[in-house]
């Protein structure tokens, strides 16, 4: 099965459809191309602010699209260093430039060991194929 989604090799991923770029003790987090595609046109985005702390699996923010409203769950634990104010004003940037201007936040990692629990691009690609296969079987 060929995937039409961009999945850059230099990033990590999680099963909540986030991409994570780790740089030392910091990480940049955004919604993957597959994630933004499933979410649909993002109309509203809310994110935790700088200084707030988050645990892995805790609410990082919320998203509203034409077909979905829900929580964004943090792929890693840490302290928010910066939220992308630009996507709060222009949430569609997550759809149009998921791996560039559509990033969501930067965090200072609480425990870098958590990175080992993330998916590589190859593992994420395999996970997407499994999800799409399940949807086809249900669908």
Structural domains for the chain: 12-133 (2.40.50.100)
Q: pLDDT digits over 59-117, tens only?
A: 999 999 988 899 999 999 999 999 999 999 999 999 999 999 999 999 999 999 999 99
Please, what is the average pLDDT of the chain?
95
Q: pLDDT digits over 114-137, tens only?
A: 999 999 999 999 999 999 998 888
Token digits of residue 36: 């933004």
Report the C-alpha gap between 19 and 132 in whole angstroms. Answer: 19
The reported pLDDT for the residue numbered 62 is 97
Neighbour-count burial for 81-97, b at 16+ CB within 10 Å, e otherwise = eebbeebeeebebbbee
> Reduced to 3 states, what is the DSSP secondary structure of residue 121?
helix
**pTM here?**
0.94
In the DSSP assignment, the letter for residue 120 is P
Report the C-alpha gap between 34 and 89 in whole angstroms. Answer: 22
């Amino acid at each position: 099965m060929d995937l039409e989604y961009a999945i850059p090799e230099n990033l990590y991923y999680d099963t909540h459809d986030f991409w994570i770029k780790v740089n030392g003790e910091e990480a940049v987090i955004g919604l993957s191309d597959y994630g933004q595609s499933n979410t649909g046109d993002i109309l509203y985005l809310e994110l935790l602010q700088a200084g707030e702390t988050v645990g892995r699996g805790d609410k990082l923010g919320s998203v509203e699209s034409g077909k979905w409203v829900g929580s964004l769950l943090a792929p890693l634990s840490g302290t928010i260093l910066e939220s992308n104010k630009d996507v709060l004003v222009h949430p569609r940037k997550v759809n149009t430039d998921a791996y560039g201007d559509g990033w969501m936040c930067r965090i200072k990692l609480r425990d870098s060991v958590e990175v080992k629990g993330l998916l590589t691009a190859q593992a994420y690609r395999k996970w997407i194929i499994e999800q799409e296969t399940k949807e086809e079987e249900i669908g």
